[in-house]
Structure 1
Amino acid sequence: MSVKVRFAPSPTGKLHVGNVRTALVNWLFAKGQGGSFVLRIDDTDLVRSTQESEDNIEIDLKWLGLTWDERYNQSKRFDRYEEAAARLKAEGRLYPCYETADELDRRRKVQLSRGQPPIYDRAALSLTDAEKAAFEAEGRRPHWRFKLEGKRVAWEDLARGHAEVDTASMSDPVLIREDGLFLYTLPSVVDDIDMEITHIIRGEDHVTNTGAQIEIFEALGAKVPGFAHMPLLVGADGAALSKRLGSLAIMDMRADGYEPIAITSHLGKIGTSDNLEVAASLQELGEAFAFSKMGRSPARYDTADLDRLNAQAVHAIDYVEAKPRLEALGVDLGETFWNTVKGNLNRFGDVVDMAKIVTGPVTPVIEDAAFAAAALELLPDAIDADAWSTWTGAVKDKTGAKGKGLFMPLRLALTGQAHGPDMAAMIPLIGRERLVQRLKGEAA
């Protein structure tokens, strides 16, 4: 059977680097194995789920290049979840519980005060029909728990190696709430079975859940898929990144001018043995991906690394690819212009400032009027590829200026900036008329 993975986001907010990393690793693994990638929208919470969030998930994934082979909405599959729940109830694996949240909290506190683990005591299993009826008469509605077998559940984890969970140390998980809403666990397992998912790839915070989920797969008579649990992301300082994910939304990063390949290269390589350099394409990233390269320590997410990769990505864009984007910004000044300035860009949008150096107006910075006047007097008539070398040589001979003392005053006068692209390539783009005006101290 070919590899088939899934990404199942909830449409209740923005996609951020944490869940996009999960989507990316699933996609890279599947494509590297010649398999397929399923987008499954976890919209069982009909109150919190929104169409806007669902649309934005698709926009973000497409922008990143993470296209899907199949797509589903869990909200359209409630009948299947009801069927699975009915089977588990009939077999005694799903049982009703009537405790309130306050009652459960008090029990946990008592257990902790006695030095006992705060595990659900399965009191509901001993309820008589009369007691259940009495609770119903009070207006209580049951939540439903899955009865774990209380055994050691083991699997070979693609990212962690041999893994084990003792379900005897866990509370029986709630699969259905009092209001009848299915929690994530049962729909996820049912969908994985029906969609023939071969591998479940997610963060290591789900390791404990995996033990319970494997028991549910077995209870439903299904083959258990493979699992991979990745180390979580932390900030550059090693602190948990979860508190900051709101500021790391993909749509915001897109608006800030980050390149998709920079984001995917960063998320695909941090925490691995690969060099942190921008990939030429998602295909290249997928061909290089392997769980064996993934470390066990948390992956450090450092925006400085992303900025560096983004600059690399911009520098690698050729004019054919850049042209429509330059046109959209109104700064398509030709291939020579693009090739001259792109090496100085951190974000693609910075090209607008570079174009202004060429088209003006630029307010020149004249530090020494006599020096500028001498330079103007020596300015060649033909501003071609050799003009800068010829001109600066002549200015050096006349003024005695050299090195930074020669080049910096000219750059400031002609561009208004202390840093920028190669001046030999820039002055033909600026043109002699503007060069003359700027050397005179005029905005042009």
Structure 2
Amino acid sequence: MVRVRFAPSPTGRLHVGNARIALVNWLFARKLGGHFLFRLDDTDTERSTAEFAAGIEADLRWLGLGWDSFARESDRMDRYAGAIEALKASGRLYPAWETAEELELRRKLQIASHKPPVYDRAALRLDDAAKAKLTAERGQPHWRFRLDGRRIAWADLVKGETVVDTASLSDPVLVRADGRPLYTLTSVVDDIDFAISHVIRGEDHVTNTGVQIELFEALGGAVPGFGHLSLLVDATGAGLSKRLGSLSLGGLREEGVEAIAVSALLARLGTADPVMPVAALDDLVTGFDLARFGKAPARFDPAELRALSAHCLQIMPFDAVRERLPEGTGEAFWIAVRGNIATLADAADWWRILHRAPEVGPIEDPAGVLAAAPDLLPEGPLDGASWGIWTKAIGAATGAKGKALFLPLRLALTGRDHGPEMRLLLPLIGRDEITTRMGKIDRG
């Protein structure tokens, strides 16, 4: 079975870059009838918080990305300890005591000598006496994974044939001096134990993938397929990294952006497929194909997202928004207003306008439309034809037409010079309220 995972660290809230990775994994699993694992990589105890974990869960639920199973790394420390001992026993994990300052000085000397700034494996040359001395002086070591130093190649699901030469890399630290395992190790152990078949993530992980493939092999695990999506840039081509705070999912939600619009945009960014408004996630599953994603950076434009959000609202059926509309609203109201709103907050504004007379100042009405209107309101129940009948009668009585006929009436009834079609609003306002509002108008 296809098994994928989304594995954020709960050290902050999700932003659009994270959401894109989560969405693509979810769509990949759903398209292929696979399994979607939500895993919290929370071994960074200094920065991980329960609040951030809850926020990430809320963000995923807001997007509609339900998961088939859940795991938390902090619950699996015994499993990582076993993997660490296995790597030590096989000679792939070795102790080192260098401080960050010492390593930085070595890097500077290597660069000055025109050598690659790669860890020199000095710790591998220590004998038992030297190790004992360093332990006494500096305490417990950190542990590095000894790379094979070879070309690691794989057929990337997005980038195509990809190669990382681990001979050009430093042996990565997998275990801190305090015994805490780091991401590079825990992620691989988890992927093995949860039988992850495909790892889909950002292209900033390409080098790390070369290291992790060696680690999969060293632990005797099946190497999954890998796909690395291009990173998001802004409309000018600049990176988003310094602006992600303003593009958090929480911020977009507070702004009134529709979750389905976020998904509709992110599912197409980086492909040649046009971005289209959709009403449900299932509409995105049908046409999803990971092979459609290109290698070039994907441009994310917040203005495009906001426009798309409005378009998604305009095609949503009433049942999709019923629970988020003001109490008492019906389908007729939704059909009347959805074509003229950018967010659901705008719909709430129109609900207030229809049920509470707005403040209206003097209205220019040289033709006397407002004076003639009350007596010409059609008899009987108001329906979709009433507006046309009413304005035709007023026009015949006053000679007004076009803007001179329609604008005074719209202003008198809604306090706005634009908005939903009046033929739809008139029945919703109701005869008594129309008469009351017309009687309060200052005709200038």
TM value normalised by structure 2: 0.94
Tell me by how many angstroms 1:433 deviates.
3.0
Task: Return the alpha-carbon distance in structure 1 between the equivalents of residues 143 and 329 of structure 2.
Answer: 66
* Matching residue of 2:356: 360
Is 1:418 aligned with 2:414? no
* Matching residue of 2:186: 187
Paired amino acid for 2:371 = A
Tell me by how many angstroms 1:252 deviates.
3.0
Unaligned runs of 5+ in 1: none
Task: Return the alpha-carbon distance in structure 1 between the equivalents of residues 329 and 136 of structure 2.
Answer: 78
Paired amino acid for 2:378 = P
* Matching residue of 1:340: 336
* Matching residue of 2:241: 242
SS at the partner of 1:43? coil
Which whole-Å deviations, capped at 9, do the CAs of 1:354-402 have from their partners, x for residues lacking one?
1122111212244325532244454434444322222222333344333
* Matching residue of 1:106: 105
Tell me by how many angstroms 1:56 deviates.
2.2
Task: Return the alpha-carbon distance in structure 1 between the equivalents of residues 331 and 285 of structure 2.
Answer: 31
* Matching residue of 2:48: 49
Task: Return the alpha-carbon distance in structure 2 between the equivalents of residues 419 and 347 of structure 1.
Answer: 16
Tell me by how many angstroms 1:438 deviates.
3.0
* Matching residue of 1:301: 300
Change (3 A) 1:365 1:423: farther
TM value normalised by structure 1: 0.94
Describe how 1:279-290 pairs up with structure 2 within 5 A. Answer: 279-290=278-289
- Contact persistence 1:366–1:409 (CA under 8 A): no
- Contact persistence 2:95–2:143 (CA under 8 A): yes
Task: Return the alpha-carbon distance in structure 2 between the equivalents of residues 272 and 43 of structure 1.
Answer: 32
Describe how 1:71-150 pairs up with structure 2 within 5 A. Answer: 71-150=70-149
Is 1:222 aligned with 2:221? yes
* Matching residue of 1:40: 39
Task: Return the alpha-carbon distance in structure 2 between the equivalents of residues 323 and 35 of structure 1.
Answer: 31
Tell me by how many angstroms 1:217 deviates.
0.8
Task: Return the alpha-carbon distance in structure 1 between the equivalents of residues 383 and 286 of structure 2.
Answer: 45
* Larger displacement relative to structure 2 (262-271 or 202-211): 262-271
- Contact persistence 2:42–2:72 (CA under 8 A): yes
- Contact persistence 1:17–1:249 (CA under 8 A): yes
Tell me by how many angstroms 1:206 deviates.
0.3
Aligned CA-pair RMSD: 1.9
Tell me by how many angstroms 1:192 deviates.
0.7
Paired amino acid for 1:336 = A
Which whole-Å deviations, capped at 9, do the CAs of 1:12-64 have from their partners, x for residues lacking one?
22122111211111111111111101111111122322222222222221222
Unaligned runs of 5+ in 2: none
Number of residue-to-residue matches in the alignment: 439
Paired amino acid for 1:113 = A
SS at the partner of 2:138? coil
* Larger displacement relative to structure 2 (367-376 or 309-318): 367-376
Task: Return the alpha-carbon distance in structure 1 between the equivalents of residues 392 and 362 of structure 2.
Answer: 20
- Contact persistence 2:365–2:408 (CA under 8 A): no
Tell me by how many angstroms 1:296 deviates.
1.3
SS at the partner of 2:227? strand
SS at the partner of 1:272? coil
Paired amino acid for 1:302 = D
* Matching residue of 1:9: 8
- Contact persistence 2:365–2:404 (CA under 8 A): no
* Matching residue of 1:380: 378
Task: Return the alpha-carbon distance in structure 2 between the equivalents of residues 346 and 174 of structure 1.
Answer: 49
